Amino acid sequence: MEDMGIKNTKIVCDPLWGLIEITDFLPMIDVPPFQALGFKYQLGVTSLLFPSATHTRKQHSFGAFKRTQALADRWLHRRFITKDEARLVTAYALWHDIGHGPFSHVVEEVTRELYGRDHDQNGSLIIERLKEAVEAVGVNFTEFKKFFTRENPLYRAVHDKNLGTEKLDYLARDAYYTLEYLAHHAYFIDGKLAIDEKAIDQAKAVQEFYVKMYKNVYLRKNSAIAQRLVQKMTAELLRVHPMSEDAFWALTDFGLLGLFETSHSDTVRILYRRFVNRQLPKTAIALRPEAFAAIDKTVGKSQIIVGVPSEQMECFIHSSHFSKPSQLEIVEKDIERIAGLPPQSVTVVPPASVERFVPQDIAIYIPGGKLTQLSDYFGDHFQALKEEGRSYVVLRICTFEEHRAVLSDPAVAEKVTSYILTLTA
């Protein structure tokens, strides 16, 4: 039969995008570090609370790739970028998460202290070993690296805090929410990501939605506690079962869980059984800003809420006692001693920085070529989001259910709280 010149295309099926053609990028897809993303959950431990939240970083990477491909086509048509830049930024979107380790951000507090690297820095190292795959898809490797080092401002197309394609994809994927109107009115002008003035309302809605997702999903109480439990198990595992940094980064979520289950450490195995059975620690003492101390409902719970000045909460956020897993372990042991509780029974969940909730300003394109800022029109919008972020800030002192009544006893809670306050004195 005569060769009809039919192209042998490769596609993947995505629940949000439908069919995504990946033919031209197969060399970058068929490498172990990218394939490993298929065994790393996008939302870490969130599936403990939301059983269907099991989408992976590989799925997200394909979504960011497709979204960036569509964006690059629009920008190419508008002459914001060149063909080479369109190819570069699309390839970067595919690999933007390649540096993630098991449980992604959850264990990064451990890796940052132990190895001195986060997933972005690890990604920069990984791609050095994959130069051949990058060049096989017709991408200049030297220019490609500049996206990982942030030397090329076009990286913002993927990683802008407000409008980046990976942000829009994971918000859409995490909540089955579509943001196409905003995506179609995003521009790249003078090295900045901007939106058309007609999409201002949608931009504000995305920022508000982002904050709500942090409250209801990413930093949900039990999710934050589960994350800290994974950090504790990881730190203990690496003490009793040392491994090279490369070996650790190469682990998948399931690989790390397997090491927890078979660890030589009784502590790790006991905590692991609690984790997989969802017998998580419960909050016994919670320190919150005074203005929001009444938010947690404590009726019928062995729990005490302590209101502290906002300035004190800021000190907790920035204190070295709460910013490193090794320091947190010392605090947890001290609390166990003060409360007369057994080892490994206390878990301290430090507060998240308010800055995580405060969105960056957004450049607004006004017909005629002028760029202005969203805050020029809606300053109160940013202030409201910042204030809402403050309401989520809490330092939790948790323990397992059988010890909760002891730790939340008023006399014990007062001693523990006094100790915590001395750490920022």
The per-residue pLDDT for 198 is 86
Neighbour tally for 233: CB within 10 Å: 26
109 or 33, which is more confident: 33
Q: Are residues 265 and 330 in the same domain?
A: no
- The answer, yes or no, to whether residue 419 has pLDDT greater than 50, is yes
Overall residue count recorded for the chain in this entry? 425
- The answer, yes or no, to whether residue 177 has pLDDT greater than 50, is no
* 2 found inside a domain: no
The per-residue pLDDT for 284 is 96
> Average pLDDT of 54-78?
93
- The answer, yes or no, to whether residue 136 has pLDDT greater than 80, is yes
Q: Are residues 251 and 289 in the same domain?
A: no
Across 44-53, 197-206, 283-292, the highest mean pLDDT is recorded for: 283-292
> Average pLDDT of 233-243?
94
* 272-280 contacts at long range (C-beta below 8 A, 24 or more positions apart): 272/233, 274/229, 274/400, 275/226, 275/229, 275/230, 275/233, 278/48, 279/400, 279/401, 280/48, 280/222, 280/225, 280/226, 280/229
Across 38-47, 49-58, 401-410, the highest mean pLDDT is recorded for: 401-410
Which CATH number characterizes residue 262's domain? 1.10.3210.10
- The answer, yes or no, to whether residue 190 has pLDDT greater than 50, is yes
The per-residue pLDDT for 5 is 56
Measure the CA–CA gap between 296 and 169, rounded to whole angstroms. Answer: 32
Q: Are residues 85 and 123 in the same domain?
A: yes
* 378 found inside a domain: no
The per-residue pLDDT for 6 is 54
* Chosen domain end from 229, 256, 276: 276
* 15 found inside a domain: yes
Q: Are residues 45 and 59 in the same domain?
A: yes
* 194 found inside a domain: no
The per-residue pLDDT for 372 is 92
pTM for the full model? 0.77
Q: Are residues 117 and 229 in the same domain?
A: yes
Q: Taking the C-alpha atoms of 281, 287, 289 and 294 in order, what is their torsion angle to the nearest 10 degrees?
A: 70
Mean pLDDT value across the chain: 88
Q: Are residues 26 and 164 in the same domain?
A: yes
* Chosen domain end from 276, 291, 314: 276
Q: What proportion of the chain, given as a percentage, has pLDDT over 90? A: 55
Helix (H) or strand (E) holding 195: strand 192-196
Q: Are residues 152 and 269 in the same domain?
A: yes
CA 307 to chain centre: 28
The per-residue pLDDT for 50 is 73
The pLDDT-based confidence of 281 (bands split at 50, 70, 90) is: very high
* 328 found inside a domain: yes
Q: How would DSSP label each residue in 12-34?
A: EEETTTEEEE-GGGHHHHSSHHH
- Which ranges of 25-153 does DSSP label H, i.e. alpha helix? 26-29, 32-35, 57-77, 83-95, 105-114, 119-128, 131-136, 141-148
> Average pLDDT of 236-241?
94
284 or 175, which is more confident: 284
The pLDDT-based confidence of 183 (bands split at 50, 70, 90) is: confident
Q: Taking the C-alpha atoms of 32, 36, 42 and 47 in order, what is their torsion angle to the nearest 10 degrees?
A: 170
The pLDDT-based confidence of 209 (bands split at 50, 70, 90) is: confident
The pLDDT-based confidence of 178 (bands split at 50, 70, 90) is: very low
Helix (H) or strand (E) holding 97: none
Enclosing domain of residue 321: 281-352+393-425
The per-residue pLDDT for 342 is 96
List C-alpha distances in Å: 101 to 39, 104, 118.
10, 5, 9
The pLDDT-based confidence of 1 (bands split at 50, 70, 90) is: very low
Measure the CA–CA gap between 114 and 234, rounded to whole angstroms. Answer: 11
Measure the CA–CA gap between 245 and 122, rounded to whole angstroms. Answer: 10
Q: Are residues 291 and 316 in the same domain?
A: yes
DSSP for residue 414: H
Neighbour tally for 116: CB within 10 Å: 9
User: Which 3 state secondary structure label does DSSP give 84?
Assistant: helix
Determine which of 34-38, 47-51, 117-121, 212-216 has the lowest per-residue pLDDT on average. Answer: 212-216
Q: Are residues 232 and 108 in the same domain?
A: yes
Q: Are residues 118 and 53 in the same domain?
A: yes
The tally of domains found in the chain comes to: 2
> Average pLDDT of 160-179?
71
Q: Tens digit of pLDDT for each residue in 87-101?
A: 999 999 999 999 999
The pLDDT-based confidence of 174 (bands split at 50, 70, 90) is: low
CB 14 within 8 A of CB 59: yes
DSSP for residue 154: G
The per-residue pLDDT for 335 is 97
- The answer, yes or no, to whether residue 280 has pLDDT greater than 90, is yes
Measure the CA–CA gap between 388 and 212, rounded to whole angstroms. Answer: 9
- The answer, yes or no, to whether residue 69 has pLDDT greater than 80, is yes
Q: Are residues 261 and 320 in the same domain?
A: no
* 215 found inside a domain: no
Q: Are residues 72 and 39 in the same domain?
A: yes
CB 226 within 8 A of CB 48: yes
- The answer, yes or no, to whether residue 236 has pLDDT greater than 90, is yes
* 187 found inside a domain: no
- Which ranges of 163-220 does DSSP label H, i.e. alpha helix? 165-175, 180-184, 200-213
Q: Tens digit of pLDDT for each residue in 296-315?
A: 666 567 889 999 888 888 88
108 or 31, which is more confident: 31
Across 4-8, 164-168, 245-249, the highest mean pLDDT is recorded for: 245-249
The pLDDT-based confidence of 354 (bands split at 50, 70, 90) is: low
* 397 found inside a domain: yes
